[in-house]
Structure 1
Amino acid sequence: MTEHKHAAAEDLDRDAIANEFDAAVNMTASELETWLKTDDSKAVGWKADGSKESVGHDSGRKIVAIKRKKKADLTTADLEHMRKVTGYVHRHLAQGGPAKDTEHSRWRYSLMNWGHDPLKKRG
């Protein structure tokens, strides 16, 4: 019985993580994939020592792969990344965007690398 309860708790976590991720990531896999190919996408974000790719750009590639999976196929690493993405998006949004030209801001571009376009209307 304990094993069954543990499995049920894991499923709840999986669902909660997936729901929070889906709320934070408002770009489709195709939209994100197209965005990641742009120079603007590649120009923003922090790069680890010696890396040519920013942490956010790498995250975006992982998000595309995650969004193309079925929830049942998500790995522990996927779920951990989904939590990281959700936290990043919430922290970045809390900072607020620039007062002018949000559309062409590094703030927006960085968020978009993490799968969230702050100018996209929910629909």
Structure 2
Amino acid sequence: MAHSPELDALWDDFHRVVNMTSAELADWLRVRDSGQTAEPLPDQAGPPLGQHVLAILQKRRMDVTDDDVRVMREVVDTVGDLVDMEEEPEAEDTRRRHQLMSMGHDPLKP
């Protein structure tokens, strides 16, 4: 995919809101799915969106696809809707935190 100022800005926004490393996200997706009936394969754990975020984290900017761009926009918009970056996170809001963590954003992480 060709570089553009818009893509560069989206890449930066995506990496700003996705504050978990690929290793942290992979571990979280495995833990999240481990309570289900069968342990998923490590590379298939978690929701499809979380898996796609993980795949993007492992890519270089020049290697993103149109589908990656769509997912990056979705994550930036969704995290932006669910989190006020200036607001103090609330530890007791577990369901929302888990939803965000499945997209690579831990609201309790500094």
Q: Same fold (TM over 0.5)?
A: yes
How much identity, in percent, do the aligned residues show? Answer: 38
Equivalent residues, number: 98
Tell me if the contact between 1:97 and 1:107 (Cα under 8 Å) persists in the aligned partners.
no
What corresponds to 1:61 in structure 2?
Answer: 51
Report the structure, 1 or 2, having the larger helix content.
1
**Alpha-carbon offset, residue 58 of structure 1:** 1.5
Q: In angstroms, what is the RMSD of aligned CA positions?
A: 2.6
Counterpart position of 2:107: 118
TM-score by length of 1: 0.69
Structure 1 residues 72, 39: CA separation in 2 closer, same or farther (over 3 Å shift)?
closer
How far, CA to CA, are the matches of 1:67 and 1:92 in structure 2?
A: 21
* 1:73 match: 63
Q: List gaps (5 residues or longer) in structure 1.
A: 1-6, 44-55
2:98 corresponding residue in structure 1: 109
Contact 1:24 1:116 in 2 (8 A): yes
The normalised TM-score by structure 2 is 0.77
Q: 1:57 to 1:97 in 2, by over 3 A?
A: farther
- Structure 2 unaligned runs (5+)? 37-45
Q: Which has the larger radius of gyration?
A: 1
